[in-house]
Amino acid sequence: MIGRLEGRLHQVGPGEVIVDAGGVGWLVRIGLRTFEGLTGKSSVALWTHTLVRSDEITLYGFPSREELEMFQRLIAIAGVGPRTALALLSGMTPEELAAAVEGGDAPRLRRVPGVGQKTADRIVLELRGRLPAGGGPSSGDVVGDAVSALINLGYSARESQRAVRTAATRQPAADLAGLLRVALKLLNATP
């Protein structure tokens, strides 16, 4: 998995960039706010999410770890795919998105192209009360760090969040290592 990519900007477009790193041109999907921040720059460092499907491998890039982790939280929700998550993060910062979710402001989410009534309501329902005050997990957010670690190990965002939530319920005072131990046992349990 590729967690961060740094290199020379070879090509910049509204939905994607090509980053030259180590002699390889990496095609990375980005949101519009990220595109605006890259205009006129010659190099870039992006936090990345690697999405592996049977027919493709896609990299999604973000200028901050908070934005990456908000993206991962969004795509873990049923019915919210990478395009919708990128659209949401193109129209709002992670902090604005967290404020809309915590305030139950589904109409604000619906103003984003591609987000309908059901999707907006589902996002509010799934994320309300689960986001840190800053809008994304910080270095002190053990649950967010555990989810990120499991995703980096190859588990899907959805199953990682589910396992970490269950582990946190079973051991609320656990540190990162303890939470990961319990979550991994849950993920590897044979049905």
In total, the chain counts a number of residues equal to 191
* pTM for the model: 0.70
* pLDDT digits 0-9 by tens, 47-96: 999 999 999 999 999 999 999 999 999 999 988 999 999 999 999 999 99
Residue 136 lies in a domain: no
What is the tens place of the pLDDT at every residue in 172-186? Answer: 788 888 888 998 999
**162-172 pLDDT, tens per residue?**
888 888 888 87
135 in a structural domain: no
**Closest-CA residue to 61 (of 114, 10, 19):** 19
Q: What is the CATH number of the domain that holds 93?
A: 1.10.150.20
Q: Is residue 134 part of a domain?
A: no
In this predicted structure, what is the pLDDT of residue 106?
Answer: 94
> Do residues 73 and 54 share a domain?
no
Place of tokens 């994320």: 127
Domain for residue 81, yes or no? yes
Helix %, strand %, coil % for the chain, to 5? Answer: 50, 20, 30
d(CA 180, CA 45): 28
The residue written with tokens 């934005």 in the block is 67
Whether 137 is covered by a domain: the verdict is: no
| 52 and 75, same domain (yes or no) | no
Considering its fold, how many domains does the chain have in total? 3
Check whether 144 has a pLDDT greater than 80: no
The C-alpha torsion from 179 through 184 and 189 to 191, rounded to 10°, is 90
Which residue range is the domain that position 37 belongs to?
4-62
